[in-house]
Amino acid sequence: MLRGAGLIGSLAPLLTVAGIPQLRALGVSWLPTAVVGLIFALLGAARTGVTIGALNFLLDVAPADDRPIYIGLTNTLVGFATLTTALGGLMVEAVGYRALFALALAFYLASALALTRTREPRAECMAQPAIDG
Protein backbone atom coordinates (compact mmCIF):
# COMPACT_ATOMS: atom_id res chain seq x y z
CA MET A 1 0.00 0.00 0.00
CA LEU A 2 2.72 2.46 0.98
CA ARG A 3 4.88 1.73 -2.04
CA GLY A 4 1.94 2.25 -4.38
CA ALA A 5 0.91 5.44 -2.62
CA GLY A 6 4.44 6.81 -2.97
CA LEU A 7 4.52 6.09 -6.68
CA ILE A 8 1.02 7.44 -7.27
CA GLY A 9 1.84 10.54 -5.26
CA SER A 10 4.99 11.16 -7.31
CA LEU A 11 2.89 11.39 -10.47
CA ALA A 12 1.14 14.55 -9.19
CA PRO A 13 4.17 16.87 -9.02
CA LEU A 14 5.60 15.24 -12.15
CA LEU A 15 2.44 16.08 -14.11
CA THR A 16 2.44 19.57 -12.61
CA VAL A 17 6.02 20.36 -13.55
CA ALA A 18 6.17 18.58 -16.89
CA GLY A 19 2.61 18.37 -18.13
CA ILE A 20 0.62 21.53 -17.60
CA PRO A 21 2.95 24.02 -19.32
CA GLN A 22 3.15 21.81 -22.42
CA LEU A 23 -0.62 21.24 -22.45
CA ARG A 24 -1.25 24.98 -22.64
CA ALA A 25 0.86 25.10 -25.78
CA LEU A 26 -1.48 22.61 -27.49
CA GLY A 27 -4.28 25.16 -27.41
CA VAL A 28 -6.96 22.77 -26.10
CA SER A 29 -8.60 24.88 -23.41
CA TRP A 30 -10.18 22.07 -21.37
CA LEU A 31 -7.11 19.78 -21.28
CA PRO A 32 -5.09 21.60 -18.56
CA THR A 33 -8.20 21.70 -16.36
CA ALA A 34 -8.70 17.95 -16.81
CA VAL A 35 -5.07 17.29 -15.89
CA VAL A 36 -5.42 19.44 -12.76
CA GLY A 37 -8.42 17.30 -11.81
CA LEU A 38 -6.32 14.19 -12.37
CA ILE A 39 -3.56 15.65 -10.20
CA PHE A 40 -5.97 16.21 -7.32
CA ALA A 41 -7.36 12.68 -7.73
CA LEU A 42 -3.82 11.26 -7.61
CA LEU A 43 -3.01 13.26 -4.49
CA GLY A 44 -6.21 12.09 -2.82
CA ALA A 45 -5.45 8.46 -3.64
CA ALA A 46 -1.87 8.80 -2.41
CA ARG A 47 -2.91 10.52 0.82
CA THR A 48 -5.53 7.87 1.54
CA GLY A 49 -3.03 5.10 0.82
CA VAL A 50 -0.47 6.63 3.15
CA THR A 51 -3.03 7.14 5.91
CA ILE A 52 -4.23 3.55 5.77
CA GLY A 53 -0.88 1.93 5.04
CA ALA A 54 1.28 3.83 7.53
CA LEU A 55 -0.89 3.10 10.55
CA ASN A 56 -1.21 -0.57 9.64
CA PHE A 57 2.53 -0.88 9.02
CA LEU A 58 3.26 0.82 12.32
CA LEU A 59 0.92 -1.54 14.17
CA ASP A 60 2.58 -4.52 12.49
CA VAL A 61 6.16 -3.57 13.36
CA ALA A 62 5.69 -2.06 16.83
CA PRO A 63 5.96 -4.39 19.81
CA ALA A 64 2.53 -4.85 21.40
CA ASP A 65 3.50 -3.23 24.71
CA ASP A 66 5.02 -0.18 23.01
CA ARG A 67 2.35 0.53 20.39
CA PRO A 68 0.88 3.57 22.20
CA ILE A 69 4.35 5.13 22.40
CA TYR A 70 5.05 4.42 18.72
CA ILE A 71 1.72 5.91 17.67
CA GLY A 72 2.19 8.97 19.88
CA LEU A 73 5.69 9.62 18.55
CA THR A 74 4.51 9.16 14.97
CA ASN A 75 1.65 11.62 15.44
CA THR A 76 4.04 14.13 17.02
CA LEU A 77 6.44 13.89 14.09
CA VAL A 78 3.59 14.17 11.59
CA GLY A 79 2.39 17.27 13.45
CA PHE A 80 5.81 18.92 13.09
CA ALA A 81 5.94 17.93 9.42
CA THR A 82 2.51 19.47 8.89
CA LEU A 83 3.72 22.76 10.33
CA THR A 84 6.51 22.89 7.75
CA THR A 85 3.98 23.19 4.94
CA ALA A 86 3.90 26.91 5.67
CA LEU A 87 7.45 27.00 4.33
CA GLY A 88 6.03 26.15 0.90
CA GLY A 89 4.71 29.68 0.52
CA LEU A 90 8.09 31.14 1.37
CA MET A 91 9.75 28.80 -1.09
CA VAL A 92 7.34 29.80 -3.86
CA GLU A 93 8.17 33.45 -3.27
CA ALA A 94 11.89 32.74 -3.27
CA VAL A 95 12.33 30.25 -6.13
CA GLY A 96 8.92 29.70 -7.77
CA TYR A 97 6.40 26.93 -8.18
CA ARG A 98 8.50 24.68 -10.42
CA ALA A 99 11.18 24.34 -7.74
CA LEU A 100 8.56 23.57 -5.09
CA PHE A 101 6.97 20.84 -7.22
CA ALA A 102 10.40 19.47 -8.14
CA LEU A 103 11.22 19.21 -4.43
CA ALA A 104 7.90 17.47 -3.79
CA LEU A 105 8.69 15.02 -6.58
CA ALA A 106 12.12 14.34 -5.07
CA PHE A 107 10.59 13.62 -1.66
CA TYR A 108 7.94 11.32 -3.12
CA LEU A 109 10.56 9.37 -5.06
CA ALA A 110 12.87 9.21 -2.04
CA SER A 111 10.06 7.82 0.09
CA ALA A 112 9.16 5.27 -2.58
CA LEU A 113 12.82 4.23 -2.77
CA ALA A 114 13.08 3.95 1.02
CA LEU A 115 9.95 1.79 1.08
CA THR A 116 11.49 -0.67 -1.35
CA ARG A 117 13.94 -1.54 1.43
CA THR A 118 11.31 -2.26 4.07
CA ARG A 119 10.31 -5.79 4.89
CA GLU A 120 6.76 -7.07 4.90
CA PRO A 121 6.03 -7.84 8.58
CA ARG A 122 3.04 -10.04 7.78
CA ALA A 123 5.14 -12.28 5.55
CA GLU A 124 7.39 -13.07 8.52
CA CYS A 125 4.39 -13.93 10.70
CA MET A 126 3.03 -16.28 8.06
CA ALA A 127 6.42 -17.98 7.64
CA GLN A 128 6.59 -18.92 11.33
CA PRO A 129 4.92 -22.17 12.34
CA ALA A 130 1.73 -21.85 14.36
CA ILE A 131 1.99 -22.71 18.04
CA ASP A 132 -0.71 -25.01 19.30
CA GLY A 133 -1.45 -24.64 22.87
Write out pLDDT tens, residues 73-97: 988 998 888 888 888 888 889 999 8
* pTM score, whole prediction: 0.71
Angle between helix 97-115 and helix 2-14 axes, rounded to 10 deg: 160
Chain Cα centroid distance, residue 21: 24
C-alpha–C-alpha distance, residues 87 and 93, integer Å: 10
Quick: pLDDT tens for 37-52. 999 999 999 999 988 9
